[in-house]
Amino acid sequence: MINLSAALTAALVLVLAQVDMSRWNDYEKPFRLAGPIHYVGTAELAAFLIHTPQGHILIDGGMPSSAPVIERSIRELGFKPEDIRILLTTQAHFDHVGTHAHFKKLSGARVEAMAGDARLLRDGGKSDYLFGSNPEFHFPRMAVDRVLEDGDVVTIGGERLIARLTSGHTPGSTTFLMDVNEGGRVYHVVFAASTTVNPGTRLTTDPSYPGILEDYRRTFQVLESLKPDIFVSAHTGFFDLKGKRARMQPERPAEAFVDRDGYARLIAERKRAFEALVAKGDPVR
């Protein structure tokens, strides 16, 4: 793996410093989104609790400092974070897996992740191709109980998720597919991995990791092949949580989140932006 130069690392930190992360832990009232899927994240960083009588799955988990907010939200819904049985993530970055070690310790849950992200979880982000050299972006290390492969099924209590490798943003970025029944109707739900290319990433010359360019392109192929009724992702702005929630009817929450055209537009826009970055050359700025 190629390390960033000191200059590029400093540039990346400067870019991130311009992002107002001070409000990323702001409380967002939790709610049921569709079937057994509940929103328990913050106003910016999404996290989803999938409830089953045999225990819960938590997908993504914010920054380390997000733990009290997410735990509060889970309890407000009447569930116990101690009953989490599986911890998943769409990307092993500090702002999405920062609470996993906390919830693993609290509940004894199994951590399941693709190989590329399993390494990051085990070393607390120290081997990250962009953030590894900066302790500010590290997170508590944890054991990984199951290393997933593309197409593996994660299941508990009758609920079933299919894990698709959609790497690039991190080497093991993962998209999860799930069908849920809401009022007698089946909705196809996608928990989509990020396709953002962070500043400092090298895609072609001395790539940030071997095969990153091919990984991103394969990821777009996978995401283009999906036809979800509902899509969500790790940052709330990507799927317009605020706007959709404003239109939500409590007795029929899923309907406000149905957005097939929005998903197709988002993936198309991200793909165009990615190819434009490739055309400009390395490193991404």
Assign 3-state DSSP to the chain and report helix, strand, coil percentages, each to 5.
35, 25, 40
Residue ranges of domains in the chain, CATH in brackets:
6-280 (3.60.15.10)
Q: What is the mean pLDDT of residues 157-180?
A: 98
- Asked if pLDDT for residue 218 goes beyond 80, the answer is yes
- Asked if pLDDT for residue 3 goes beyond 50, the answer is no
CA angle 123, 108, 30 (to 5 degrees): 95
- Asked if pLDDT for residue 16 goes beyond 90, the answer is no
Q: Which residue has the higher pLDDT, 151 or 10?
A: 151
User: What is the side-by-side strand order in the sheet with 174-182?
Assistant: 153-156, 159-165, 174-182, 185-192, 230-233
Please give the model's pTM, rounded to 2 decimal places: 0.93
pLDDT tens for 45-56 read: 999 999 999 999
For residue 283, the model assigns a pLDDT of 83
